[in-house]
């Protein structure tokens, strides 16, 4: 049996066992399901919003990076759609006074004291198929705690998300999440003059990076 025949048989075998596989032909374009953030630059850059069933990482380096403004904007947008947001607040830093009671009614706030608690509660939340959107805020957590997070943890949590259809946005001071489907990098620099401005007029600048496109689960969550 020639090598060509073997290859043809192998292709036939794979086509039968894996009908979605396309050998030698261009892959079908897979459009992932997304959750819009309400921030135009991010939604455009990510093809509609945060990819569902996957990690998105918001890297917010340095001071005045606008990560808190992003959380507030995302909560308002989620609440305006009648949906709910779960915030795992790694350093218990959410500013309640800056948010409207109507927006807060759409928030499940998990107030953690350290990174270990934040990761443990995120793990529990991802096992709950009721939770659609989780924001894991590690921006103010100690660097030595973040360095101790094993890389395999993100893959394990990814598997949970694929099973239960949750979407997670992780906010970190530096790139941390291995295997994130998308990454947003904040180029914002807020200073004391911004304290006088309305949140709408702040110059929030974000760059997006689509890292891995894959089919998001068709699961819809409440």
Partner 1 sequence: MYAVIHLPQFALQASLRLSPELWGQPVALVDPVRTTPVVLETTPPARDAGVERGQTATQALARCTGILIRHRAPARESATTDVLLQCAYGFSPHLESTAPGLCTLDLRGLSRLQPPEPDALQAWAQGLQSSLTAQGLRSHIGFATTPNLARHAAQSGMAVHVVTDAARFVASLPLAALEPSSDTTRILTGWGLRTVGELLALDPAELTDRLGLEALGLLAAASTRNTRPLKTIRPPEVWTESWDFEEPVETLEPLLFLLRRFTDSLCARLGLAGRAAERVDLSLRLESGNRLERQLNVPEPTRDAAVLQGLLATHLDTVRSESAVVGLQLTLETTVPVQRQFGLFETTLKDPRQFQETLGRIAAILGSDRVGTPVKLHQHGIDAFRLVPPEFEGVAALSQPRPALQAPGLRRLRPAPVATIESIDGRPSSIRCSIAHGRLVVTLGPWRASGRWWENGAWHREEWDATTLRGQVLRLVHQPDGWTVDALLD
Residues near partner 1, by CB under 8 A: 38, 60, 62-69, 71-72, 76-77, 79-82, 84, 92-113, 117, 120-121, 124-125, 127-131, 139-140, 189-192, 194-200, 202, 221-222
Please answer whether residues 166 and 131 qualify as being in contact, where contact means their C-beta atoms are separated by less than 8 angstroms.
Answer: yes
Residue 121: CB minimum distance to partner 1, A:
5
Choice between 178 and 202, CB closer to partner 1:
202
Choice between 75 and 181, CB closer to partner 1:
75
- How far apart (Å, rounded) are the C-alpha atoms in residues 18 and 35? 30
Choice between 129 and 212, CB closer to partner 1:
129
Residue 191: CB minimum distance to partner 1, A:
6
Residue 5: CB minimum distance to partner 1, A:
51
Choice between 16 and 196, CB closer to partner 1:
196
């Amino acid at each position: 049996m020639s090598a060509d025949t073997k290859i043809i048989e192998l292709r036939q075998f794979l086509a039968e066992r894996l009908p979605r596989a396309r050998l030698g032909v261009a892959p079908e374009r897979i459009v992932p399901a997304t959750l819009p953030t309400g921030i135009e630059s991010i939604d455009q850059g990510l093809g509609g919003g945060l990819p569902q069933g996957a990690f998105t990482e918001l890297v917010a380096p340095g001071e005045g990076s606008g990560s808190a403004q992003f959380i507030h904007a995302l909560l308002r947008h989620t609440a305006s759609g009648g949906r709910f947001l779960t915030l795992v607040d790694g350093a218990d830093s959410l500013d309640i006074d800056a948010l409207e009671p109507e927006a807060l009614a759409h928030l499940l706030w998990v107030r953690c004291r350290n990174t270990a608690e934040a990761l443990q509660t995120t793990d529990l939340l991802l096992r709950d198929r009721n939770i659609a959107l989780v924001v894991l805020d590690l921006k103010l957590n100690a660097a030595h705690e973040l360095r101790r997070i094993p890389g395999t943890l993100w893959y394990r949590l990814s598997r949970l998300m694929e099973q239960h259809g949750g979407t997670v946005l992780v906010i970190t001071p530096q790139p941390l999440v291995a295997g994130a489907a998308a990454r947003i990098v904040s180029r914002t620099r807020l200073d004391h003059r911004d304290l006088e401005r309305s949140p709408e007029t702040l110059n929030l600048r974000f760059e997006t990076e689509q890292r891995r496109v894959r089919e998001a689960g068709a699961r819809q969550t409440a």
